[in-house]
Structure 1
Amino acid sequence: MTQNPVIPQIKVNDAPVAQNGSVVSDPVAQVNQDVSIKPRKKGLLIVLVVIGVILLYSIVSGLFVYSKAMRLKKSVSGLVAAGKSQDLNKIKSELVNTKSSLKALKSSFVAISPFRIVPFFGSYISDMSHLVNAGLYGMDAADIVLTTVEPYADLLGLTGGKDTAVGDGTKTAKDRIDFIVKSIPDLVPNIDKISTKTSLIEKELADINPERYPVRIGRTEVRSKVKSGLKLFREAASFITNGKPLLEAAPYLLGIDKERTYLVLFQNDKELRPTGGFMTGYSIMKVNKGAFSPVSSSDIYNLDAKYKPTTVAPNPIAKYLKGPYVLSNKLRLRDMNWSPDFAESMKLFVQEAKSVGITGIDGIISVDTQVLVYLLDAIGKIGVPGFGNFSTEIDSRCNCP
């Protein structure tokens, strides 16, 4: 369209101009601008309020969970102290307190459950939940154990049992053997209950991934401690699960139905052999209803002196041990633990030992120098008539147990 030079063209989007040349603001445009700014301010305010509420909720819920965690820590410390005091009543009381604290901590997780969906933090909250559940199952298992052993608390060195009278070392050792024999019927059915709880604990802990934890926080190792804790429990769980067959076989092993005869071989673990050490000596003992009595014992060389070798020695023994094998390549009794399969080695040993009077053996027990130390650690000081008390406490005269 051609512009008329006489009639000025008016553009609708041109702002009005005052006589002094200044632009006159459009009241309609100003209103529209004010209206558009207000929603933005309102939206920002809402966002800030929401963030503030979330932050406040996080702090409050975090402090709530923290208070329950501190209560649990205090309860666990009390339980540990009660265990060290060996007071059964205190242990039972602290066990109840710890279980109550665990339940309270578990309930408090409801407050932080919305944060499970938050990346990074959610996985740690989930781990805490699994850990608490495992702890509750552990408390149940501990309660079963305490109920089972309560009648024999005094024999285990615990106070607060039905009979707190503890005799001298000799009597205590015998009574502890009686405890093992008498408690087996109660332990066998309860081991299933304990195993069930253990399986539930394993299931909870299996969901904890130690790799997502930092290697350390400051100077404190974190990941390695999580790994070692999980490994320790798995070993304990395996011990409980695998212990049932041993408990079931215990009546036979302890001669409950009839007397058993065992050959005990002493192996020197400082002189290694495939089954654990060089066989230095042996003993024959009988067990009747849990009571052991020695029959005879001697040096392995004395037994070998009466033995007439008939089996050809493995080439490495004849080649490297030399000694008597320089004159004859026949295998001696003391070297018959050549196979790392203990049963296989003992099959040959028992067969050949019959020729020197070792007969009527129901089983073979092999021990090394550490077994007695571990045994004394487990059952405590014992007394031997005519020889005094024995324990793993360090004797200053030799700086040894």
Structure 2
Amino acid sequence: MEEALVAAKADYINMAIPVKSILKKTFLIFGIYFVLSILFVVIAGFIAFKQGFKLLASENVDEIKANIPRVEKSLSLLKTSYTFVVWTQFLPFVGDYTRDLGKIIDAFEAALVGGQMGLVGDIDGISGQLNIVMDKLTSINPDKYSSGYRGKYQSIIGGLNVIKSIPYFMGMDAPRNFLILFQNDKELRPTGGFMTAYSIMRVDKGKFSPIASEDIYNLDAKYKPTVPAPEPLIKYIKGPYVLSQNLRLRDMNWSPDFGSSMINFTTAASDAGAPEIDGIIAG
């Protein structure tokens, strides 16, 4: 009986040694796989994003067209490398970062497709792809990253918001009128200078056409002032305020808040017979 127990114990020990060895090898292989996968993603990501930003910075259309296939190939390599680590999205701590990487890759791909649409003038297509880019990037929480990356993230989002507005400013869905104000910085006013003249430009599906252009005094002459002028204008500008202390249209940019000043100005300009304005450019 005792000999049988000793033999069983020996068999158990002999069996345990291979199991431990197998486990060690398994963890070693898994560790090597994981490290190589991460390295693969990092290298592929570095190449893809470097080429992507280089493409974005290029101003030569022919060069852009020539380099798009190269960027597509790098993006494909990045997507392939991501499949090796996608399972880590279910792990605690690292899962969020893996999911963020997937969103960035999707945004990158949508941006590339949108850029190709832009080369052929497909404005609607660009808008759709930009929506995908914005949806993917805005779903990322930047707070878990360093301040440097958060700053870059906010810059990218801000830039995308500007780009996303391009179809609106180009009048792709409907014609739009833009008011161009010319300000004289030698006669200071809070928004940059005295408004000396203006032009109104219509944009319809990317085509620009002038509607009106004249001296500010001509428009001001059609305006009937009803709002009391600020005391400093009455005291120092005098001129028309000797006869009437109501604010003239040409002085509507009295507030340093450009938005507030322009709301006041466009309201007054509309009362004076100017067409409806969709946006203002002041210089």
In 2 relative to 1, CA 33–125 (structure 1 residues): closer, same or farther, beyond 3 Å? farther
Secondary structure (helix, strand or coil) at the match of 1:322 reads helix
Maintained 8 Å contact 1:138/1:198: yes
The corresponding residue for 1:179 is none
What is the CA-CA distance between 1:144 and the residue it aligns to? 0.9
Residue correspondence of structure 1 range 327-338 to structure 2 within 5 A: 328-337=244-253
In 2 relative to 1, CA 113–329 (structure 1 residues): closer, same or farther, beyond 3 Å? closer
Q: Are residue 346 (structure 1) and residue 278 (structure 2) matched?
A: no
Amino acid of the structure 1 residue aligned with 2:123: I
* C-alpha distance in 2 between matches for 1:60 and 1:84: 36
- TM-score scaled by length of structure 2: 0.71
In 2 relative to 1, CA 134–34 (structure 1 residues): closer, same or farther, beyond 3 Å? farther
Residue of 233, 242, 245 corresponding to 2:168: 245
Residue of 21, 28, 31 corresponding to 1:58: 31
Amino acid of the structure 1 residue aligned with 2:265: S
The corresponding residue for 1:212 is 144
In 2 relative to 1, CA 240–40 (structure 1 residues): closer, same or farther, beyond 3 Å? farther
The corresponding residue for 1:224 is 147
> What per-residue deviation string (whole Å, max 9, x for no partner) do you get for residues 286-320 of structure 1?
889746699655xx6xx39x9599635536x0257
Maintained 8 Å contact 2:201/2:212: yes
Structure whose alpha-carbon radius of gyration is higher: 1
What is the CA-CA distance between 1:38 and the residue it aligns to? 5.2
Maintained 8 Å contact 1:284/1:294: yes
What is the CA-CA distance between 1:232 and the residue it aligns to? 3.4
What is the CA-CA distance between 1:95 and the residue it aligns to? 1.8
Maintained 8 Å contact 1:337/1:346: no
What is the CA-CA distance between 1:363 and the residue it aligns to? 5.8
Maintained 8 Å contact 1:68/1:101: no
Q: Gaps (5+ residues) in structure 2?
A: none
Maintained 8 Å contact 2:183/2:194: yes
Q: Are residue 203 (structure 1) and residue 140 (structure 2) matched?
A: no
Secondary structure (helix, strand or coil) at the match of 1:266 reads strand
Residue correspondence of structure 1 range 122-161 to structure 2 within 5 A: 122-148=95-121
* C-alpha distance in 1 between matches for 2:70 and 2:103: 20
Amino acid of the structure 1 residue aligned with 2:68: L
Residue correspondence of structure 1 range 3-152 to structure 2 within 5 A: 28=2, 31-32=4-5, 35-36=8-9, 39=12, 42-43=15-16, 45-67=18-40, 69-81=42-54, 84=57, 86-148=59-121
> What per-residue deviation string (whole Å, max 9, x for no partner) do you get for residues 315-361 of structure 1?
6x025752215775232333234681634433324545xxxxxx7x4
The corresponding residue for 2:195 is 280
* C-alpha distance in 1 between matches for 2:26 and 2:265: 74
Question: Higher mean Cα deviation, 62-71 or 287-296?
Answer: 287-296
What is the CA-CA distance between 1:78 and the residue it aligns to? 4.0
Secondary structure (helix, strand or coil) at the match of 1:331 reads coil
> What per-residue deviation string (whole Å, max 9, x for no partner) do you get for residues 46-75 of structure 1?
245324323323323432452454244335
* C-alpha distance in 2 between matches for 1:145 and 1:125: 30
What is the CA-CA distance between 1:282 and the residue it aligns to? 0.8
* C-alpha distance in 2 between matches for 1:249 and 1:114: 43
* C-alpha distance in 2 between matches for 1:42 and 1:237: 62
Secondary structure (helix, strand or coil) at the match of 2:171 reads helix
Residue of 137, 158, 165 corresponding to 1:235: 158
The corresponding residue for 1:394 is none
Residue identity over aligned pairs, in percent, reads: 20
Q: Gaps (5+ residues) in structure 1?
A: 1-26, 149-189, 214-222, 255-261, 353-358, 370-401
Maintained 8 Å contact 1:280/1:334: yes
Maintained 8 Å contact 2:184/2:195: yes
- TM-score scaled by length of structure 1: 0.53
The corresponding residue for 1:322 is 235
Maintained 8 Å contact 2:183/2:196: yes
Maintained 8 Å contact 1:263/1:285: yes
> What per-residue deviation string (whole Å, max 9, x for no partner) do you get for residues 6-34 of structure 1?
xxxxxxxxxxxxxxxxxxxxx71x65356
